[in-house]
Structure 1
Amino acid sequence: MSILFKSFDLAGITLANRVVMAPMTRARAIHDVPDEHTVLYYAQRASAGLIISEGIPISREGCGYLFNPGLYNDEQVHAWRRVTDAVHAKGGRIFAQLWHVGRMSHVSLQPDGGAPVSSVATVAANSKAYAWMEKGQPGPVQASPPRALSACEVQRVTADFVCAARRAMDAGFDGIELHGANGYLFEQFLNGALNTRTDAYGGPIANRQRFLLETLDALAAEIGNHRVGVRLSPFGRLFDMHPYAEESDTWLSLASALNERGLAYVHLSDQLTIGAQAIPQGFASQFRKTYRGTLIAAGGFTRDLAEAALENGDLDLVAFGRPFIANPDLVARMQNRWPISEADRTTFYGLNGHPGQGYTDYPAYHKSNAN
């Protein structure tokens, strides 16, 4: 059997295979609460060894996109329990990706119409949130100017993540993934070009990493380090992130710090497939030499590329994103080398048309239906 389809021990959790369903924002939750379509969507894809949920805002402040199901009230916890129960009933495993977008938000989404928060008060130029437009219609709008979090507020956000992690466990998730990638709040602190703070959370590499590491340590103390993963996007350029001095050193230093923490995994996101800069050639190998725990990567993998990465020891698990949209049975399709369907990009996000359109209406493969 191909290594991609062999089981894997993820910090005491047995995964049926090494295929991971990557987190994907779908913006389908009315009132920010999972519904029956959310339940069906994840249950249909439970043959993945591990599902990582769409980004789940930890607070109203952490929201940057409409219709994203959160984990900051009891109704959401009860609704997510229906999702996790459905995934588990089919033998799957699911982690909750906990998310705070930082400055990638809009005043129409914030409590009392306040400014979004970030490491510094610098707007994300030419970057769109998905919020309420002037006519009361949802749509892409320029992210609002943020305000800088105080040091005390940084610690409060860490506490918000801890509360959301406890809610995730109460909702039946097998663990959580801290979203530290793609230009959102933690990367707004990590990025040396943006973060010009002069306190304990800015300046040298160790200071810029402090918020992320303090939050990971607090999460580990609350639910156990073996139930905590983290997603990173080294050299990420999404949402007005820019290069800076010591960029490679920043990520390798972070790899070393993560290696000491015994987390469930580290998940690297290569942004090439979403229109941004790729991780520089050779850097992933450097990261792997420094971080020796379970490593996942996402970014344009096919079955053959995934198998090669696993066989070489470059990765332990491989994440697939967009292929899972139109192929709820992606694992079986790859295993049998059946055709992989293409998803309709116009239905990636939002509540246009029928709630299940482009979401839960993609069929499993049947030879009788093949062309």
Structure 2
Amino acid sequence: MAGNALLQPLQVGTIVLKNRIAMSAMTRNRAPRGYPSNLMKEYYIQRSSAGLIVTEGLLITRQGTDYPNAPGIWDEKHIAGWKDIVDAVHEAGSKIYAQLWHLGRLSHPEAPEQKLAGVPVYGPSAIAARGGKFRGLPGTPGFVKPSAIEDPWTIIAQYKQAAVNAQKAGFDGVELHAANGYLVMQFLDNTSNQRTDKWGGSVENRCRFGLEVLNALIEVFGQDVGIKLSPAGGYNDVGMSLQDTLDTYSYFITEADKLNPGYIALVRYSLMTNERFDGVLRATGHDVFESYPHLIKNARVFLNSGISPEEGHQFVSEGKADGVFFGFSWLTHPDLVGRIKRGHPLDNALDFLRLIPEDGEQDWSKGYVDYPMYVQS
């Protein structure tokens, strides 16, 4: 695609991206007991043609996730492992952010890491999410009723320490995971946050936690901080009325933008987040890309969720976005930028069976680093 707007460089925060084709965070569950590996390094190096890579979610503290091999960023061994990967990505010519992740009420008390942490499953309020399926636990239990966080500042401090650790590992910045029903989104949503203190109730109070976390990250990395939001809801049993959603996210995005982060990434509605709980559809389905970008005056605007290269070029060339995050396209096409640049098809089929390794799977490279580069016949 000659003249593709996605191929133009872009300054985000203090760094310059070589193109606007960013790689979204995607859980792959291939960090042995939570620590980065050489196989993960190969995976990220393969995709270093991206202007910006955002890692899979890095747990900021021990948590009982359904992904027992999801990576963390809470100790020195994590820092050393990620530094090896970051250095390799830099040598290959890309920039890389760490996505900071707290599950909140979506942990399980019987998961090994949660038991090692010796703390309850926490949420904004003592309200359980419906659904869940912890495949690694006997009986594949669902989500549990969490303990309400007594002092949210303790969790904010954990986010800040995770940012300090990411900085030690050499990351170019961090992305706050505030989407998909995890902790920050749980505070934003009035179905999961029914607190009566300064952290709940009004729009301003429900937004307070996410804004304070974002501010703490900016204290560490300056402008080199992004935030990922999925206002349409639905995933992991979150989702307010349309008006509550518009009011909450309009305020949050406006206030977040005043903190001057590098970018705000907006995830639009997709069928993958179209979940029903007790027969109730939680996703609003409203047009995220039309509802919020006009509120962003300082940060770069990135769009995410099922965007084709052609659509991405149009969004950027028309000034509706500064860049685009691709997800599944990066999983299946390690040479995505080259394919877009040369007009080659995106024709590698996703290996769904190995998207997340099944229990007992021995060869984690399958469906991970074995997708072919394009060879013209």
TM-score, scaled to structure 1? 0.93
User: What is the CA distance between 1:238 and its match in structure 2?
Assistant: 0.7
The residue number in structure 1 matching 2:221 is 223
**Is 1:111 equivalent to 2:92 in the alignment?**
no
Unaligned runs of 5+ residues in structure 2 are 275-282
Partner Cα distance (1:73, 1:309) in 2: 40
**Residue of structure 2 aligned with 1:210, choices 208, 211, 226:** 208
Instruction: Report the more deviating stretch, 346-355 or 71-80.
Output: 346-355
Tell me the SS of whatever aligns to 1:108: coil
CA distance in 1, matches of 2:323, 2:38: 29
Query: Hey, what does 1:166 align to over in structure 2?
Result: 164
Query: In 2, distance between residues paired with 1:90 and 1:165?
Result: 23
Cα pair 1:5 1:335 within 8 Å, conserved = yes
| Counterpart in the other structure of 1:73 | 75
Computed over aligned residues only, the root mean square deviation of the Cα atoms, in angstroms, reads 1.7
What is the one-letter code of the residue matched to 2:115? P
Letter in 2 for 1:86: A
Counterpart among 31, 34, 41 of residue 33 in structure 2? 31
Q: Name which of structure 1's ranges 9-18 and 155-164 shifts more when overlaid on structure 2.
A: 9-18
Give the 3-state SS of the residue equivalent to 2:292 in structure 1: helix
Determine the C-alpha separation between the residues in 1 that align with 2:184 and 2:198: 15
Say if 2:142 is the partner of 1:142: yes
How far apart are 1:312 and its partner, in Å? Answer: 1.5
Pick one of 93, 99, 103 that aligns with 2:101: 99
Pairs aligned (count): 359
**Cα offset for 1:279?**
4.6
Task: Provide, for residues 254-288 of structure 1, a one-character-per-residue CA deviation record: whole Å limited to 9, x for no partner.
Answer: 1110121110100112240524247513x423311
Query: Is the Cα–Cα contact under 8 Å of residues 234 and 273 in structure 2 kept in the other structure?
Result: no
CA change 1:21–1:209 in 2 (3 A) is: same
Matched, 1:305 2:311: yes
- Checking the alignment, whether the CA contact within 8 Å between 2:86 and 2:171 is kept in structure 1 is yes
Q: Separation in 1 of the partners of 2:44 and 2:271?
A: 23
User: Cα distance, 1:129 vs. partner?
Assistant: 4.2
- In structure 2, relative to structure 1, the CA distance for the partners of 1:144 and 1:42 (3 Å cut) is same
Distance in 2, Cα, partners of 1:307 & 1:272: 20
- What is the CA deviation profile of residues 121-178 of structure 1, one whole-angstrom value per residue up to 9, with x for unaligned ones? 1111112345x3228xxxx54122211101x2x1111000111101111111100001
Give the alignment's TM-score, normalised by structure 2: 0.91
Higher mean displacement: 286-295 or 32-41: 286-295
Distance 2:185 2:133 in 1: 17
- Asked if the contact 1:105–1:129 (Cα under 8 Å) also holds between the matched residues in 2, the reply is no
Residue aligning to 2:6: 4
Corresponding position of 2:90? 88
Q: Report the 3-state secondary structure (helix = DSSP H, G, I; strand = E; otherwise coil) of the residue aligned with 1:262.
A: coil
Q: Paired residue for 1:239?
A: 236
Superposed, 1:346-357 pairs within 5 Å as: 346-350=353-357, 352-357=361-366
Q: Partner residue of 2:137?
A: 133
CA shift for structure 1 position 86 = 1.1
**Change in 2 beyond 3 A, CA 1:278/1:27:** farther
Task: State the alpha-carbon separation in 2 of the partners of residues 251 and 331 from structure 1.
Answer: 32
